[in-house]
Amino acid sequence: MQKLIQRAKFAERVASRKSAKIKRLESQAEWRQRIKEEFVRRGQQEARVKAERRRRREDYELGPLAPSRHLGEHEEEYGTAEHEMRSGKWVPRKQKRTRLHLAVKDRVVIIRGKDKGKIGVILEIDKDTEEVFVKDINIVDFAVPTAFRSISSEKFSPGEVGIPIDHVQLVCPLQGEDGKVEDVVIRHITLGKSRTEINEEGKPEKKYDRFVTGENLILPWPEKSLPEKVTHDIDTSRLDSESKTWVPTLKSPPAPPSVLDELRNRYSKFRARHEDWYVEQKESEERAKTGLNDGSSMLTPLQEIKSKVAKEKAAQGPPSITFDMWVVIGKAMAKNSKATEDEIMAYDRKIKPRPDAGKLILTQVPEEMHRKKIEPTSDAADWRPRPKTNLDEAIKKLLYEPTYTDDIDPLALDSAHALQLKSAVEKRVRRLERQLARLEA
C-alpha cells in the first residue's frame, strides 16, 4: 500500500510540473500570437495611410477632374474605420499595471485630445491595451464586415474608440467646507493593500481601497450590478435541490462503492484508495521484481548453502542461557569469592614465591641527598624507598579486589548481559595471570 501511495504522490508531482509547463508554453504562444497581430495591425495601418496619401495626391494633381469618392458603390462606407482601429497597441506584460485605480461606471474627465474637458462614464476597460471606453466620447463610425451584412442591413455602426488611462482622471462628488457637494477632479490616487473577500456570487475576489493622495479620504468604488438570471422550465428549482431525499446512517455507506470507480478510474495512477486484491497484486509484483534484482540467481552452490545457514541463524535470534548454565556460573562466582590462600596457590601451581618475597627492599640514600641545596646526581641511583613486596598479599589483593560482578544476581540477567559477564570474567583472569607472571619474574 505504501508503494501505491508513493506512486500517487509521484504522479501528482509529475502532473503539476506538466501543467506548469503547458501553462508556460501557452503563455509563450499567446505572446507570439500577440506579436503577429501587432505586425498585422501595423501593416494594415501603414497600407491605409499609403492609400490615403495616394488619393490626396490624385485629388491634388487632377484638381476639378478628381473623382467623387463619396459616391458610387462604397458611398455609405466612405469615411468609416475598421474594427481593428477600435483598440490601440497592447502593452507588454512587464509594463502592465498590476492594479488599476479606475473601474467600470466611474465618471472621468478627458484631459487630452479633441474631447478635452468632457465628462463621461466608463463603459469598458481593456487591460491588455490599458484603455478605457467612455460613453458618447471619441465616437467613430466603423464599417460592418461583409460577413455580418446578412444579419444587419446597415453598412456602418458608430462606436467608442479606446482612450489611454493616462488621458483621463477620476471625477468624484465631494462635500466642500461650505457643505455643498461638488464634482472634484482627483489628480493623484493611492491604492491600499489587497485583501481577499467573498463577492456576491460567493467566489473569492481580491479587493483594495483607493485614497486621495495625502488625505485620509476613501474614494468609493462604483456599485456592481449582478446580471439578471433568466430561469427556464427545465431548470431545477432551489427548493428541489436543497430538499433531503436520502439520509445516510452508520450501517450503510453514504454512497455505493461503485461511485468511486465512476468518479476516478479504478486503475488510475492518481488514485490513493484501492481494493485489497489490487494492493496484494501490486505487492506481489514488487516482491517478484525485488527477487530478480537481488542477484540470488547468480549464486554458486556453496554460496547458497552459506546464505541458507545465515538465514537460519538469523531466524533463531540471539543465544539464550538456560537455568543450568546460570547455576554453573553462580557456583564459579561463589568459589572465586570464597577462595582461601591454599585455593589461590592451587589455582596456578606454576607460581612460586621468590626467596626474598617477604623482605623490604631499600636503597641507601647518600648523605649528600639530605642537604637541601644539593640535587640528586646520576651517581645516586634510585634512592626512593620501595614498598614491601609480598607475593601472597599481592595475590589476595588482586583476586579479592571488588568488581561490578559481585552484586549481580546471575538469575536476573538476560542472554546479552550473561555474555558481557562472561567476557568480563575472562578478561579479569587474563589480567591476573599477567600480573602474577610479572611478580614471579
- How much is the pLDDT for 357? 40
- How much is the pLDDT for 135? 92
Cβ contacts of 226 within 8 Å, gap of 6 or more: 200, 201
- How much is the pLDDT for 108? 94
- How much is the pLDDT for 121? 94
Cβ contacts of 185 within 8 Å, gap of 6 or more: 109, 169, 170, 171
- How much is the pLDDT for 338? 56
Instruction: Report DSSP letters for 260-324, one per residue.
Output: HHHHS-TT-TT-----HHHHHHHHHHHHHHHHHHTTGGG--HHHHHHHHHHHHHHHH-S----HH
Coil/strand/helix, residue 155: coil
- How much is the pLDDT for 366? 46
- pTM of the predicted protein model: 0.49
- How much is the pLDDT for 234? 86
* Mean pLDDT in consecutive groups of 10 residues from the start of the chain, 441 residues: 76 89 91 86 86 89 85 76 79 85 93 91 91 91 78 80 92 85 90 86 86 88 82 85 80 74 73 76 78 64 88 82 77 65 50 42 42 44 45 49 44 52 71 76 64
- How much is the pLDDT for 45? 82
- How much is the pLDDT for 384? 46
Measure the CA–CA gap between 4 and 21, rounded to whole angstroms.
26
Cβ contacts of 269 within 8 Å, gap of 6 or more: 7, 8, 11
